[in-house]
Amino acid sequence: MISKADPHIHTNASDGFDNPEEIMDYIVMNTDFRIVAFSDHNTISGSLTAINYKKKHPLKFKHLDIIIAEEVSTKDGHIIGLFLEHAIPPHMSAEETIKAIHSQGGIAVAPHPFNLILSSRGLEGVGKLFNRLPFDAVETRNSNPLELLSNYLTQIVNHVTKKLPVLGGSDAHFLASVGKCYTTFHGETSQDFRNSIEKKLTGAHGSVWGPVCFGRFLLDQKRKGHNIKRRYSQFLSSRNDLIIEAAEMPGINLVILRCTGNLGGCNAEILNNKIKSLMDREKLNFIVNLDKVPYIDDRGLSALNYAVEFVRKYQGNFILCNLQPQVEAVLEEFKKLDQWFEIYPEERDAIVIFEGN
């Protein structure tokens, strides 16, 4: 029996517009897919939410298997991990990321490896590293219209060089695009899907979505009463992955976090995870430099508020500095909700506060 799978779907756990429950309902009502993977950026929370939803409705989803997956932002481009047990941290090298996926028995996939357009807007591929690293499969069909040419290039390169198992994935960020590209495999279950990949028995199918599909998305957003302009800003905020560089000044119990990217969407939890990983003692102080952060949304504000409370719980201080005007304006609005942050214009000004103690 030949079945279909979509191993590349995004939810609102990262930069998708719809939650996992909505997507699963859409899939069982509108497709004949047997396997889906919610491969959100730098998190497996979308996958875990979907699995819990299936457990609550076993009959409704008895013919739909969920694979735990993640699209990891590496220093060299995006890599999808399938059949994961826990999340893979972002910003490692591509080689390190593949090792981390393999260490937990996962399958490492190269999605859109030869992206030719807008590579800085969340569509980064690993490029030439595709030929040098031990990938287990490659995505040769991606339904994003920007991937039309790179789909063909990937097919040619893979056929001439590595001849890896091929996958088709929608890379869906809204309901109407789910399943536009997909993978065929032998069998019905997630284990059958894995076996087909390992035996090179998969097929990549489908096409990029077009104006009609996008029109359905706009109508769906209007029906739900969503502000499309605001939702699009949130969407973009989650596509540029937040990079945080930590510099410790042990003599004064201080860590400086220099952030680059947008503080919003799925990026928000990256900040909190970074602070938690560094909190190895009480009275540790933090300065968060937002000089290269041009955008912050509600989830980013919540992350900052959580960080303040978390650090103060351990008797530390939390200071922001180098805010861009548009970010500072958002924080000023937030203060009206009885939340406050200690802010300094320059990083040096903030450091002096701790050097004097």
Each residue's pLDDT tens digit, 314-344: 889 999 999 999 888 888 877 665 567 889 9
In a domain, 237, yes or no: no
Percent of the chain surpassing pLDDT 90: 61
The structure tokens 């941290």 sit at 89
40 and 143 housed in the same domain = yes
Mean of pLDDT values over 30-39: 97
pTM across the whole model = 0.80
Q: Which residues constitute the domain of residue 156?
A: 2-231
Q: What is the CA radius of gyration of the chain?
A: 22
211 and 252 housed in the same domain = no
- Residue 127 pLDDT exceeds 50: yes
211 and 302 housed in the same domain = no
Q: How confident is the model at residue 90 (pLDDT cuts 50, 70, 90)?
A: confident
In a domain, 71, yes or no: yes
How many domains is the chain built from? Answer: 2
Q: Look up the CATH number of the domain holding residue 84.
A: 3.20.20.140
- Residue 201 pLDDT exceeds 90: yes
In a domain, 236, yes or no: no
In a domain, 238, yes or no: no
Mean of pLDDT values over 201-224: 91
Q: Look up the CATH number of the domain holding residue 321.
A: 3.30.750.24
Mean of pLDDT values over 25-46: 95
Domain boundary (206, 231, 256) is at 231
50 and 186 housed in the same domain = yes
In the beta sheet, which residues pair with residue 287? 256, 319
User: Residues with Cβ < 8 Å from 138, sequence gap 6 or more?
Assistant: 109, 110, 113, 130, 154, 158, 162, 164, 165, 166, 167
The Cα 148–Cα 154 span in angstroms is 10
- Residue 92 pLDDT exceeds 50: yes
> Which one of 69-78, 89-98, 135-144, 232-241 scores highest in mean pLDDT?
135-144
> Which one of 178-182, 236-240, 293-297, 334-338 scores highest in mean pLDDT?
178-182
In a domain, 342, yes or no: yes
pLDDT the model gives residue 120: 44
221 and 247 housed in the same domain = no
Domain boundary (207, 231, 255) is at 231
193 and 255 housed in the same domain = no
Domain boundary (209, 231, 253) is at 231
